[in-house]
């Protein structure tokens, strides 16, 4: 048989390109199926991931998750950068009530969750960290649902702005709670203080340096959208990879790049670049993989906590918007919808839980029980909630 | 149905300005007119702020004035109030006859009964109607005066087009026109000019006939370049692009006012059908070439540069401008015409300097919002 060794071994090895193609096609089918039921496409991607994931048919297992990591990072990078660009400092400066809304929206969500969990006798630190993680809305879900609906208007703009801000707040709150966690686990003083400081300062600094490079690069390239597009994707992917290998926060680094590339661009050198079809490819992978890792096995045992977590979080956010929304110029009736639009939680929360689990597995497990079951539920209803809110607000584009 | 022409003081002026609402982050058209209008309702302001056919537009109406400087002051006041409210919603407001790069298919109709009816009737033309014009009202003491003034002003339509032209870009392309906006309007069936009638009675007979045909229901259904507005007692000039600044809008009103004053007081010429033989040719030339257009004089059949005829006209009516306290305005317009300074060339210069139409939209909104001075 030696003369037939040009033949491959069977079954053929599952290579990354095959994986990429397969994930895309499966996601595509899921997305189209979802449209049949008027569900957001990303829900379809997610369901496909769940179906083929380890808790489903188990065709996309642990190795796949590792290999798809780079695609997930690219898509997260693109999303965080774009969301960061929606954080318009000038708007917050002119509309102080909007700034108040943003701060209150994060603060109230934290407080509602913290005191709610304390009421049910969760330990202080666990309640605080679970609450801090709950501040954040999923950047990927709100951005992609808004894109899919071609949504445009005050509610959409504010949803994106508040998401950018609450993601930042969530990260900083978690980071500032880390010293207490280290302390509780009797870590040395250096680790207790230096680890959070390193992550925070390092991520911000990386973001700053990259955003300045992006602006320089853009000025040199001139106003040519195709070139600027390539440059941006390159810089974003590079930053995501760099942040990961430096043990920094991909989230903070890329949000910072987006925020500063918008607000430091005094000469208006950077164009509005749409990631369009190219970006879509990565977003499909992102959500299929989110489905793969979705812990819906946690749902039955923790449904009570998860339900409470979701309700408290919504009440906190909605109350802040009800109190400050009108003052910031939100039209009557839109406050509740904005609260609903901000419901989604996803990958971001999972990443934060995993980071903590990486440090202290036992504590991480207890945190997962509270947060990840809520995330599992919100991954499913979140996109629907956002879609409902945007449509109800009359901001979705006309169907084509 | 007889239309009563409401008498109003001769040569009073008022303007309507259709404006663009832009999103701050990319300067594309926004969809927030309803939110902005709801906020404006709670603000004490002179004039009126109203919806227009798509959600990306608003319309400012001034009150009635005798002096153009008062009009300019009032427009600046409304402008500042609108800008303040718009900024709270992170919106920009811009003048200019067209948005440089928006896609008409993305527009959404403002949900009122009349606008819904227009979409039903006109289909995609309704969304393409997202162009921005300035309408100038001039008070007349009688319907007969109004008819006379309309005919006499029709000779000057190319002047108004060249002076106001500010829509060189359309759907992301340079059209080569100084005013591309009027091309979007020509597609409607009831555009063009008023028929060659000579009195308000004749006008009423014409209107009644059209009404019996069920072609029109009210004066609103005529999209003529200049039309009588009997319920206001005015003549309404509708060919101007919304200029890039409110000050320019007031200057254009001053020009219209001085012209009307000149014709009503001197009555040196009578309407002739020749006015309408050269009309479309002159109008096209002005749209395409602005100040550089060719102009045919319907009275002596001579050809000349539009710019020369405009300057001569401005100089001829200068004594009337003095009587109306608007000599400064007319001198300003003469300077613009001599220097060939128009909004269209300014917009093209900005594209050359900045390299993108998003920047053009941003710069034109800066100008309208009073954040930058025009250099």
B57's tokens: 């537009």
- Summarised one tens digit per residue, pLDDT across range B234-250 is 999 999 999 999 999 99
For the A40-188+267-392 domain, the top CATH level (class) is mainly alpha
**B372 at the A interface (CB within 8 A)?**
no
Query: Do A213 and A49 meet the contact criterion of CB atoms below 8 Å apart?
Result: no
Average pLDDT of B185-204?
Answer: 93
Q: Which of A90, A222, A271 sits opposite B358 (nearest CB)?
A: A271
Dihedral pair phi/psi, residue B272, rounded to 5° = -130, 145
DSSP, residue by residue, A128-157: HHHHHHHT---HHHHHHHHHHHT--SHHHH
In angstroms, the first-to-last Cα distance of chain B is 52
Which tops the pLDDT comparison, A368 or A206?
A206
Give the model's pLDDT for residue B196.
96
Residue B1 is assigned to a structural domain of this protein: no
Average pLDDT of B71-76?
Answer: 97
> Hunting for tokens 């994930």 — which residue is that?
A23
Confidence of residue A400 (pLDDT cuts 50, 70, 90): low
Dihedral pair phi/psi, residue A48, rounded to 5° = -60, -45
How far is C-alpha B123 from the geometric centre of its chain's CA atoms?
A: 24
Q: Do A86 and B90 touch (CB under 8 A)?
A: no
- Summarised one tens digit per residue, pLDDT across range A278-325 is 788 888 989 998 888 887 787 777 678 889 999 999 999 999 999 999
CA distance to partner chain B, nearest, from residue A218 (Å) = 12
Query: Do A360 and A185 meet the contact criterion of CB atoms below 8 Å apart?
Result: yes
Give the model's pLDDT for residue A1.
52
Listed by number, the residues of chain B in 299-358 with a beta carbon closer than 8 Å to a beta carbon of chain A are 354-356, 358
Please name the residue of chain A whose CA is at the shortest distance from the CA of residue B86.
A329
Q: Which of B32, B90, B362 sits opposite A91 (nearest CB)?
A: B90
Instruction: Say whether B23 sits in a helix, a strand or coil.
Output: strand
B357's tokens: 């139409």
Please name the residue of chain A whose CA is at the shortest distance from the CA of residue B34.
A331
Taking the C-alpha atoms of residue B227 and residue B224, their distance in angstroms, rounded to an integer, is 6
Taking the C-alpha atoms of residue A285 and residue A214, their distance in angstroms, rounded to an integer, is 26
Please name the residue of chain B whose CA is at the shortest distance from the CA of residue A397.
B106
Nearest to B77 by CA among B285, A185, B65, A258: B65
* Element at B20 (helix H, strand E): strand B13-23
**B31 at the A interface (CB within 8 A)?**
yes
Give the model's pLDDT for residue A28.
94
Taking the C-alpha atoms of residue B8 and residue B235, their distance in angstroms, rounded to an integer, is 11
* Element at A36 (helix H, strand E): helix A16-36
Please name the residue of chain A whose CA is at the shortest distance from the CA of residue B29.
A152
Residue B113 is assigned to a structural domain of this protein: yes
Return the residue in B54, B55, B88 with the most chain A beta carbons within 10 A, the one to mutate for interface testing.
B88
Average pLDDT of chain A, as a whole number: 89
Of all residues in chain A, the percent with pLDDT exceeding 70 is 98
Residue B8 is assigned to a structural domain of this protein: no
Confidence of residue B213 (pLDDT cuts 50, 70, 90): very high
The sign of the dihedral angle between the CA atoms of A232, A233, A235, A236 is positive
Give the model's pLDDT for residue A322.
94
- Sequence-ordered list of residues with C-beta below 8 angstroms from that of B65, at least 6 positions apart, any chain: B12, B13, B14, B71, B74
Give the model's pLDDT for residue B231.
94
Of all residues in chain B, the percent with pLDDT exceeding 90 is 88
Sort strands B234-241 and B226-229 into parallel, antiparallel or unpaired. antiparallel
Taking the C-alpha atoms of residue A280 and residue A284, their distance in angstroms, rounded to an integer, is 6
Say which CATH number the domain at B222 has.
3.30.590.20
Q: Do A223 and B359 touch (CB under 8 A)?
A: yes
DSSP summary character for residue A268: -
Give the model's pLDDT for residue A277.
74
Peptide bond just before A270 cis, omega within 30 deg: no
Taking the C-alpha atoms of residue A232 and residue A275, their distance in angstroms, rounded to an integer, is 10
From chain B, pick out residues whose CB is under 8 angstroms from the CB of A271.
356, 358
**B35 at the A interface (CB within 8 A)?**
yes
From chain B, pick out residues whose CB is under 8 angstroms from the CB of A86.
25
Query: Do A376 and A299 meet the contact criterion of CB atoms below 8 Å apart?
Result: yes
Tell me which residue range forms the domain holding B166: 13-368
DSSP, residue by residue, A270-329: S-----HHHHHHHHHHHHHHHHHT--GGGHHHHHHHHHHHHHHHHHHHHHHHHHHTTTTT
- Inter-chain contacts counted by CB atoms under 8 A, chains A and B: 55
Give the model's pLDDT for residue B65.
97
- For B305, left (φ over 0), alpha (ψ -120 to 50), or beta? beta
Q: Which of A88, A222, A398 sits opposite B108 (nearest CB)?
A: A398
Instruction: Say whether B16 sits in a helix, a strand or coil.
Output: strand
Query: Do B193 and B278 meet the contact criterion of CB atoms below 8 Å apart?
Result: no
Nearest to A214 by CA among A160, A164, A256: A256
Taking the C-alpha atoms of residue A350 and residue A374, their distance in angstroms, rounded to an integer, is 11
* Element at B227 (helix H, strand E): strand B226-229
DSSP, residue by residue, A190-207: HHHHHHHHHHHHHHHHHH
Taking the C-alpha atoms of residue A235 and residue A221, their distance in angstroms, rounded to an integer, is 14
Which tops the pLDDT comparison, B258 or A374?
B258
Please name the residue of chain A whose CA is at the shortest distance from the CA of residue B26.
A272
Residue B4 is assigned to a structural domain of this protein: no
Taking the C-alpha atoms of residue B97 and residue B136, their distance in angstroms, rounded to an integer, is 15
Give the model's pLDDT for residue A5.
76
Q: Which residues pair with A202 in a beta bridge?
A: none
Taking the C-alpha atoms of residue B276 and residue A122, their distance in angstroms, rounded to an integer, is 86
Give the model's pLDDT for residue B16.
97
**B141 at the A interface (CB within 8 A)?**
no
- Helices B200-212 and B143-154, packing angle to 10 deg: 90
Peptide bond just before A269 cis, omega within 30 deg: no
Average pLDDT of B1-23?
Answer: 94
CA distance to partner chain B, nearest, from residue A97 (Å) = 9
Query: Do B344 and B168 meet the contact criterion of CB atoms below 8 Å apart?
Result: yes
Query: How many domains does chain B fold into?
Result: 1
In this predicted structure, the answer to whether residue B346 has a pLDDT above a threshold of 60 is yes
Query: Do A137 and A163 meet the contact criterion of CB atoms below 8 Å apart?
Result: yes
Average pLDDT of B317-341?
Answer: 96
How far is C-alpha A271 from the geometric centre of its chain's CA atoms?
A: 24
Please name the residue of chain A whose CA is at the shortest distance from the CA of residue B22.
A153
Residue-wise burial string across A355-365, b where 16 or more C-beta atoms lie within 10 A, e elsewhere: bbbebbeebbe
**B88 at the A interface (CB within 8 A)?**
yes
- Summarised one tens digit per residue, pLDDT across range A68-96 is 778 888 888 899 999 999 899 999 999 99
CA distance to partner chain A, nearest, from residue B6 (Å) = 39
Q: Domain-by-domain residue ranges, chain A?
A: 40-188+267-392
- Summarised one tens digit per residue, pLDDT across range A42-74 is 999 999 999 988 888 887 766 777 777 788 888
Average pLDDT of A204-208?
Answer: 96
Taking the C-alpha atoms of residue B94 and residue B247, their distance in angstroms, rounded to an integer, is 13
In this predicted structure, the answer to whether residue A237 has a pLDDT above a threshold of 60 is yes
Dihedral pair phi/psi, residue B60, rounded to 5° = -100, 135
Q: Which of A94, A95, A272 sits opposite B25 (nearest CB)?
A: A272
- Summarised one tens digit per residue, pLDDT across range A334-360 is 999 999 999 999 778 888 888 888 888
Residue B192 is assigned to a structural domain of this protein: yes
Nearest to A336 by CA among A385, A396, A384: A385
């Amino acid at each position: 048989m030696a003369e037939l060794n040009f033949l491959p071994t069977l079954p053929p090895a599952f290579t990354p390109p095959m994986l990429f193609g397969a994930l895309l096609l499966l996601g595509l089918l899921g997305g189209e199926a979802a449209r049949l039921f008027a569900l957001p496409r990303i829900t379809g991607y997610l369901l496909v991931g769940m179906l083929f994931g380890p808790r489903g048919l188990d065709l996309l297992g642990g190795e796949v998750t590792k290999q798809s990591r780079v695609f997930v990072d690219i898509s997260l990078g693109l999303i965080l950068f774009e969301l960061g660009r929606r954080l318009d400092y000038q708007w917050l400066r002119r509309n102080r009530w909007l700034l108040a809304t943003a701060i209150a929206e994060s603060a109230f969500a934290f407080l509602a969750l913290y005191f709610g969990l304390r009421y049910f006798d969760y330990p202080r630190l666990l309640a605080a960290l679970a609450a801090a993680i709950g501040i954040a809305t999923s950047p990927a879900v709100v951005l992609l649902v808004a894109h899919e609906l071609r949504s445009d208007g005050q509610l959409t703009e504010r949803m994106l702005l508040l998401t950018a801000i609450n993601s930042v707040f969530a990260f900083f709150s978690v980071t500032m709670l880390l010293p207490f966690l280290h302390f509780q686990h009797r870590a040395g003083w250096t680790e207790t203080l230096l680890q959070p400081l390193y992550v925070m300062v390092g991520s911000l600094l990386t973001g700053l340096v990259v955003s300045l490079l992006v602006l320089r690069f853009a000025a040199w390239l001139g106003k040519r959208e195709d070139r600027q597009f390539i440059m941006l994707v390159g810089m974003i992917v590079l930053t995501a990879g760099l942040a990961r290998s430096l043990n920094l926060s991909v989230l903070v680094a890329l949000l910072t790049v987006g925020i500063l590339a918008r607000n430091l661009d005094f000469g208006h050198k950077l164009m509005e670049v749409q990631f369009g079809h190219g970006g879509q490819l990565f977003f499909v992978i992102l959500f299929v993989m989110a489905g793969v890792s979705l812990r819906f096995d946690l749902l039955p045992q923790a449904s009570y906590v998860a339900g409470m977590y979701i309700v408290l979080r919504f009440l906190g956010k909605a109350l802040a918007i009800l109190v400050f929304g009108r003052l910031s110029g939100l039209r009557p009736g839109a406050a509740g919808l904005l609260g609903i639009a901000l419901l989604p939680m996803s990958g971001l929360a999972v990443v934060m839980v995993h980071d903590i689990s990486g440090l202290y597995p036992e504590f991480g497990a207890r945190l997962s029980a509270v947060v990840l079951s809520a995330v599992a539920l919100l991954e499913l209803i979140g996109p629907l909630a956002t879609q409902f809110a945007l449509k109800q607000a009359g901001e979705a584009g006309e169907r084509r | 149905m007889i239309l009563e022409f409401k008498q109003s003081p001769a040569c009073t002026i008022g303007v309507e300005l259709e404006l663009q609402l832009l999103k701050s982050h990319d300067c594309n058209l926004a969809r927030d007119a309803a939110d902005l209008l709801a906020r404006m309702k709670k603000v004490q302001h002179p004039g009126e702020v109203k919806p227009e056919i798509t959600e990306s537009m608003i319309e400012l109406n001034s009150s009635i004035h005798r002096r153009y400087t008062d009009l300019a002051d009032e427009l600046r006041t409304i402008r500042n109030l609108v800008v303040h409210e718009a900024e709270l919603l992170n919106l920009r407001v811009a003048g200019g006859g067209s948005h440089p790069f928006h896609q008409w298919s993305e527009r959404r109709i403002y949900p009122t009964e009349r606008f819904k009816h227009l979409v039903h009737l006109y289909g995609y033309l309704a969304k393409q109607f997202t162009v921005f014009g300035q309408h100038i009202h001039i008070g007349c003491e009688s319907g007969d005066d109004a008819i006379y003034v309309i005919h006499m002003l029709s000779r000057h339509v190319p002047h108004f087009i060249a002076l106001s032209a500010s829509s060189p870009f359309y759907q992301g392309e340079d059209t080569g026109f100084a005013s591309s906006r009027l091309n979007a309007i020509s597609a409607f069936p009831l555009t063009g000019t008023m028929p060659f009638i000579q009195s308000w009675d004749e006008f009423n007979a014409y209107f009644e006939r059209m009404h019996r045909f069920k072609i029109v229901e009210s004066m609103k259904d005529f999209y003529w370049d200049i039309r009588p507005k009997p319920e206001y007692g005015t003549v309404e000039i509708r060919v101007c692009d919304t200029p890039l600044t409110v000050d320019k809008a007031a200057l254009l009103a001053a020009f219209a006012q001085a012209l009307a004053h000149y014709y009503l007081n001197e009555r040196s010429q009578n309407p002739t059908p020749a006015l309408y033989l050269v009309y479309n040719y002159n109008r096209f030339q002005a749209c395409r070439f602005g100040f550089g257009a060719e102009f045919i004089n319907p009275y002596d059949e001579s050809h000349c540069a539009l710019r020369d005829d405009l300057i001569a006209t401005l100089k001829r009516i200068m004594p009337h401008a003095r009587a109306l306290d608007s000599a400064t305005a007319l001198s300003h317009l003469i300077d613009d015409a001599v220097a060939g300074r128009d909004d269209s060339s300014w917009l093209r210069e900005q594209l050359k300097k900045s390299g993108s139409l998003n920047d053009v939209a941003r710069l034109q909104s800066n100008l309208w919002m009073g954040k930058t001075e025009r250099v």
